[in-house]
Amino acid sequence: MNTTTTVLYCHDPLHDRRADSHFAAEARQVRAAGGAVALVDHDALLAGDAERAVARVPAGAGAVWYRGWMVPAERYAALDAALRGRGARLAVTPQDYRRAHELPGWYETFAALTPASRWLPAAPGEAPDGERLAALAAALPAGAGIVKDYVKSRKHEWREACHLPDLADRPAVHRVVSRFVELQDEFLAGGIVLRAFERGCRFVTTDLALREDGVWRVVEVGDGQVSDLHPAVDPAVLAGLLTAG
């Protein structure tokens, strides 16, 4: 039975025998802490070829962590299935990954700490009709809102495809949501989320925001396996946690 902690990293696209440069320092710290590092092909995984993605993972690795670029929940499940065929499995189950990665999974836990939200499933390229969006918006507090999918927003296209100045303005809500769906294209994750907008200060981390009245709010939650490290965090700290058993 393998008792060494193994961490999977995405390989460098130009050098498939070493970790992607973005995660290289962390991978070195995992090895220094006594853990093992194995490489996966992120591009192959996203393309639907999970077997090829895990071809370099040693057989019999047991429970492994994934630390790499973001992966849709369906692809994460495929990664786990491919690993199980090699005598390995992801330490975070596909079910738990989805709960942490997609808003409908984590919202209830953080409902008291995050802006009010409502959602509905939607396929890529298919914007919900105006009536369904109006019903969704009506369930939120009056005022402004934002649109996102289950994982991401398009905050860089704030006026065009993110901000909803008035949730009661049905034509505007439909227009912005439709544009969001158009821009997300094939990358639309899960469905459409409408969230109440709270005027806040600048983000101080990727996941928390400080409201104007000084109250911290949870803005987003993601699985730690696909969350980047803050530059001030020593990779050795995370490596120690991952290899502690």
Domain coordinates in residue numbering, the chain: 6-92+225-242, 102-222
Q: What percent of the chain has pLDDT over 90?
A: 74
Q: Are 15 and 27 in contact (CB under 8 A)?
A: no
Torsion of CA 221, 190, 55, 238, to 10 degrees: 0
| pTM of the complete model | 0.82
Q: Which residues pair with 196 in a beta bridge?
A: 145
Instruction: State residue 117's pLDDT score.
Output: 98
Beta carbons of 180 and 154 less than 8 angstroms apart: yes
| Over residues 11-28, mean pLDDT | 94
Q: Are 162 and 145 in contact (CB under 8 A)?
A: no
The pLDDT-based confidence of 226 (bands split at 50, 70, 90) is confident
**Residues 235, 9: contact at Cβ < 8 Å?**
no
pLDDT tens digit sequence for 137-146 = 999 999 999 9
